[in-house]
Amino acid sequence: MPNPKRRHSHSRTRQRRAHDALKVPQFYLDKDTGEAMKPHRVNPDTGMFKGRQILDAKESK
């Protein structure tokens, strides 16, 4: 397995590690319930997506 010939500088190491930070999960507040939901997903309680009825609420439970 290859090994580095020279050590990396602090700057180069820190530039690489700058991308390792944890991201805040994305969410939006539902207009009807005010509940935090993940975007681009059908609401499992109501079966609504983008203002349209996609699933029956009884089927999802």
Q: 8: which DSSP letter?
A: P
Q: 18: which DSSP letter?
A: G
Q: What is the pLDDT of residue 59?
A: 54
State pLDDT tens for residues 13-61: 999 999 999 999 999 998 877 889 999 998 888 888 888 898 887 654 5
Cβ atoms of residues 35 and 46 within 8 Å: no
pTM of the entire structure? 0.50
